[in-house]
Amino acid sequence: MVWPAGRSLLAFLLPERGPYESMGRRFPPIRDYEIMFIVDPTLSDKEIETVQQRLTELTTARGGEMKKIGPWQRRRLAYPIGGRRDGIYVLAELRANPSVVRELEQQLKVTESVLRHMVVRLDGEEGAPKG
């Protein structure tokens, strides 16, 4: 068997790999996400800012990028959640790995001041929500 000069037999037998592949394991893609969560309306502006800072710090510490985060508006809820009829909606846009988003979801679940949350992956396709 003849193989090109400068290449080992192992490199000749194994297929070429892309820049994000390594021996059967792929790195997760970095994607755009939108997170909307509802916080308790009895919180002060400073407490809402603390929740936002905590999510931003967690995102950046794990290698993600928080594009923007801020309170959206105070609205009446369709049904009571935790005895509350109103809630303050907070919208966050970020770019991160799926594992970072899972950690953010876990953090939102255990935060008592967050009544509900929803994560949406933004695709780059036509018709997808854009920020």
How many domains is the chain partitioned into structurally? 1
The number of angstroms, rounded, from the C-alpha of 49 to the middle of its chain's C-alpha atoms is 19
Residue 115 lies in a domain: yes
Residue 92 lies in a domain: yes
Residue 5 lies in a domain: no
- The beta strands (E) that lie in 1-131 are given as 21-22, 25-26, 31-39, 65-81, 84-96, 114-122
Residue 13 lies in a domain: no
Print the domain residue range for 86: 26-122
Residue 65 lies in a domain: yes
Residue 128: per-residue pLDDT: 47
The number of angstroms, rounded, from the C-alpha of 70 to the middle of its chain's C-alpha atoms is 15
Give 12: exposed, middle or buried? Use CB within 10 Å, 0-12, 13-18, 19+.
exposed
pTM of the model: 0.72
Residue 61 lies in a domain: yes
The CA distance from 21 to 27, in Å, is 7
Residue 127: per-residue pLDDT: 47
CATH code where residue 85 lies: 3.30.70.60
1-37 per-position pLDDT tens digit: 555 666 565 555 555 555 545 555 567 789 999 999 9
**Nearest Cα residue to 69 out of 35, 100, 45, 25:** 35
Query: What residue type is assigned to position 47 of the chain?
Result: E
Residue 81: per-residue pLDDT: 92
